[in-house]
Amino acid sequence: MTSFIRTYDRAVALVTKLAGVIAGALVLAVGFMIVYEIIARGVFNSPTEWVTELSTYAVIIAGFLGMGVTYAGGKHIQVDILIMHFSPKVRCWVEFVTCILALYYSYVFVVEGWAMTMLSIAFDNRAPTTLSTPLWIPQISMPIGLAILALQIFGTILHDFHKMTTGQYEEKEEK
Protein backbone atom coordinates (compact mmCIF):
# COMPACT_ATOMS: atom_id res chain seq x y z
CA MET A 1 0.00 0.00 0.00
CA THR A 2 1.37 3.40 -0.90
CA SER A 3 2.07 6.07 1.65
CA PHE A 4 -0.52 8.32 -0.01
CA ILE A 5 -3.28 5.79 0.66
CA ARG A 6 -2.14 5.35 4.27
CA THR A 7 -2.09 9.13 4.81
CA TYR A 8 -5.49 9.47 3.14
CA ASP A 9 -6.92 6.69 5.32
CA ARG A 10 -5.64 8.33 8.50
CA ALA A 11 -7.01 11.77 7.59
CA VAL A 12 -10.42 10.42 6.59
CA ALA A 13 -10.54 8.21 9.69
CA LEU A 14 -9.98 11.28 11.86
CA VAL A 15 -12.80 13.22 10.17
CA THR A 16 -15.07 10.17 10.34
CA LYS A 17 -14.31 9.62 14.02
CA LEU A 18 -15.17 13.24 14.80
CA ALA A 19 -18.46 12.89 12.91
CA GLY A 20 -19.16 9.67 14.81
CA VAL A 21 -18.54 11.33 18.17
CA ILE A 22 -20.90 14.16 17.26
CA ALA A 23 -23.54 11.71 16.01
CA GLY A 24 -23.23 9.64 19.17
CA ALA A 25 -23.51 12.71 21.38
CA LEU A 26 -26.66 13.75 19.51
CA VAL A 27 -28.24 10.32 19.96
CA LEU A 28 -27.41 10.50 23.68
CA ALA A 29 -28.92 13.99 23.84
CA VAL A 30 -32.09 12.65 22.20
CA GLY A 31 -32.34 10.04 24.93
CA PHE A 32 -32.06 12.70 27.61
CA MET A 33 -34.60 14.93 25.86
CA ILE A 34 -37.11 12.10 25.64
CA VAL A 35 -36.64 11.18 29.31
CA TYR A 36 -37.11 14.84 30.22
CA GLU A 37 -40.31 14.96 28.14
CA ILE A 38 -41.64 11.80 29.81
CA ILE A 39 -40.99 13.20 33.28
CA ALA A 40 -42.35 16.66 32.40
CA ARG A 41 -45.49 15.21 30.84
CA GLY A 42 -46.12 12.29 33.19
CA VAL A 43 -45.06 13.66 36.56
CA PHE A 44 -45.66 17.39 36.23
CA ASN A 45 -48.40 17.30 33.56
CA SER A 46 -46.43 19.95 31.67
CA PRO A 47 -45.48 18.81 28.16
CA THR A 48 -42.78 20.68 26.30
CA GLU A 49 -42.99 22.24 22.86
CA TRP A 50 -39.33 21.87 21.99
CA VAL A 51 -38.46 18.21 22.61
CA THR A 52 -40.11 16.79 19.50
CA GLU A 53 -38.56 19.41 17.22
CA LEU A 54 -35.04 19.27 18.63
CA SER A 55 -34.96 15.48 18.96
CA THR A 56 -36.12 15.13 15.35
CA TYR A 57 -33.37 17.45 14.15
CA ALA A 58 -30.80 15.64 16.29
CA VAL A 59 -31.79 12.25 14.85
CA ILE A 60 -31.60 13.61 11.29
CA ILE A 61 -28.18 15.16 11.88
CA ALA A 62 -26.89 12.03 13.62
CA GLY A 63 -28.15 9.89 10.76
CA PHE A 64 -26.32 11.87 8.09
CA LEU A 65 -23.14 12.23 10.14
CA GLY A 66 -23.22 8.51 10.93
CA MET A 67 -23.26 7.40 7.29
CA GLY A 68 -19.48 7.57 6.89
CA VAL A 69 -18.98 5.87 10.24
CA THR A 70 -21.29 3.05 9.20
CA TYR A 71 -19.51 2.62 5.87
CA ALA A 72 -16.08 2.66 7.54
CA GLY A 73 -17.23 -0.10 9.88
CA GLY A 74 -18.47 -2.21 6.97
CA LYS A 75 -22.03 -2.05 8.29
CA HIS A 76 -23.86 -0.67 5.25
CA ILE A 77 -26.42 -2.99 3.75
CA GLN A 78 -24.92 -5.34 1.18
CA VAL A 79 -26.54 -8.03 -0.92
CA ASP A 80 -23.72 -10.53 -1.04
CA ILE A 81 -25.65 -13.68 -1.90
CA LEU A 82 -24.07 -13.67 -5.38
CA ILE A 83 -20.82 -11.84 -4.81
CA MET A 84 -19.66 -14.26 -2.10
CA HIS A 85 -19.35 -16.92 -4.81
CA PHE A 86 -17.04 -14.76 -6.97
CA SER A 87 -13.27 -14.88 -6.92
CA PRO A 88 -11.44 -12.13 -4.98
CA LYS A 89 -10.49 -10.50 -8.31
CA VAL A 90 -14.11 -10.33 -9.53
CA ARG A 91 -15.29 -9.10 -6.11
CA CYS A 92 -12.69 -6.33 -6.25
CA TRP A 93 -13.84 -5.25 -9.71
CA VAL A 94 -17.52 -5.34 -8.70
CA GLU A 95 -16.76 -3.32 -5.57
CA PHE A 96 -14.73 -0.85 -7.64
CA VAL A 97 -17.59 -0.28 -10.11
CA THR A 98 -20.26 -0.01 -7.40
CA CYS A 99 -18.07 2.42 -5.46
CA ILE A 100 -17.68 4.61 -8.54
CA LEU A 101 -21.49 4.68 -8.84
CA ALA A 102 -21.90 5.34 -5.10
CA LEU A 103 -19.35 8.15 -5.29
CA TYR A 104 -21.31 9.73 -8.13
CA TYR A 105 -24.59 9.56 -6.18
CA SER A 106 -22.89 10.91 -3.07
CA TYR A 107 -21.54 13.79 -5.12
CA VAL A 108 -25.04 14.58 -6.44
CA PHE A 109 -26.46 14.56 -2.89
CA VAL A 110 -23.63 16.76 -1.61
CA VAL A 111 -24.15 19.32 -4.39
CA GLU A 112 -27.96 19.33 -4.12
CA GLY A 113 -27.87 19.31 -0.31
CA TRP A 114 -25.49 22.25 -0.36
CA ALA A 115 -27.74 24.14 -2.79
CA MET A 116 -30.78 23.45 -0.59
CA THR A 117 -28.91 24.68 2.48
CA MET A 118 -27.73 27.84 0.74
CA LEU A 119 -31.29 28.60 -0.41
CA SER A 120 -32.52 28.19 3.17
CA ILE A 121 -29.88 30.64 4.34
CA ALA A 122 -30.61 33.11 1.52
CA PHE A 123 -34.37 33.08 2.15
CA ASP A 124 -34.01 32.74 5.93
CA ASN A 125 -36.25 29.65 5.92
CA ARG A 126 -37.38 28.73 9.41
CA ALA A 127 -39.46 25.96 10.90
CA PRO A 128 -43.09 27.02 11.43
CA THR A 129 -42.84 26.23 15.14
CA THR A 130 -42.47 28.08 18.40
CA LEU A 131 -38.69 27.72 18.22
CA SER A 132 -38.58 29.01 14.63
CA THR A 133 -35.40 27.02 14.03
CA PRO A 134 -33.41 28.10 10.96
CA LEU A 135 -33.77 25.14 8.58
CA TRP A 136 -30.18 25.36 7.38
CA ILE A 137 -29.07 23.87 10.71
CA PRO A 138 -30.49 20.38 10.11
CA GLN A 139 -30.07 20.70 6.32
CA ILE A 140 -26.31 21.29 6.43
CA SER A 141 -25.87 17.81 7.92
CA MET A 142 -26.83 16.26 4.56
CA PRO A 143 -23.94 17.62 2.47
CA ILE A 144 -21.48 17.24 5.35
CA GLY A 145 -22.48 13.66 6.13
CA LEU A 146 -22.54 12.61 2.49
CA ALA A 147 -19.17 14.31 1.87
CA ILE A 148 -17.71 12.19 4.67
CA LEU A 149 -19.34 9.12 3.14
CA ALA A 150 -17.86 10.09 -0.25
CA LEU A 151 -14.41 10.37 1.32
CA GLN A 152 -14.81 6.85 2.72
CA ILE A 153 -16.02 5.51 -0.62
CA PHE A 154 -13.10 7.17 -2.41
CA GLY A 155 -10.77 5.42 0.04
CA THR A 156 -12.27 2.09 -0.98
CA ILE A 157 -11.75 3.05 -4.64
CA LEU A 158 -8.09 3.82 -3.91
CA HIS A 159 -7.65 0.44 -2.19
CA ASP A 160 -9.38 -1.43 -5.02
CA PHE A 161 -7.36 0.41 -7.66
CA HIS A 162 -4.18 -0.48 -5.80
CA LYS A 163 -5.25 -4.13 -5.73
CA MET A 164 -6.05 -4.08 -9.45
CA THR A 165 -2.73 -2.48 -10.41
CA THR A 166 -0.64 -4.80 -8.22
CA GLY A 167 -2.72 -7.94 -8.80
CA GLN A 168 -2.95 -8.59 -5.06
CA TYR A 169 -6.61 -9.43 -4.52
CA GLU A 170 -6.53 -10.39 -0.87
CA GLU A 171 -9.84 -10.89 0.93
CA LYS A 172 -9.97 -7.77 3.08
CA GLU A 173 -7.27 -5.19 3.56
CA GLU A 174 -6.87 -3.42 6.90
CA LYS A 175 -7.39 0.33 6.64
Is residue 172 in a domain? no
Question: What pTM was estimated for this model as a whole?
Answer: 0.89
Query: C-alpha 129: how far from its chain's center?
Result: 27
Looking at the structure of the chain, the number of domains it has is 1
Check residue 6 and give its pLDDT: 95
Which domain does 107 fall in, by range?
Answer: 3-166
**Phi, psi at residue 83, to the nearest 5°?**
-65, -25
CA dist 101 and 103 (Å) reads: 5
Is residue 26 in a domain? yes
The tens digit of pLDDT for each residue in 26-75 reads 999 999 999 999 999 999 999 998 999 999 999 999 999 999 999 999 88
**Phi, psi at residue 81, to the nearest 5°?**
-65, -35
Going by pLDDT thresholds of 50, 70 and 90, the confidence category of residue 1 is: low
Is residue 27 in a domain? yes
Is residue 175 in a domain? no
The tens digit of pLDDT for each residue in 93-130 reads 999 999 999 999 999 999 999 999 999 999 999 999 99
Is residue 173 in a domain? no
Is residue 105 in a domain? yes
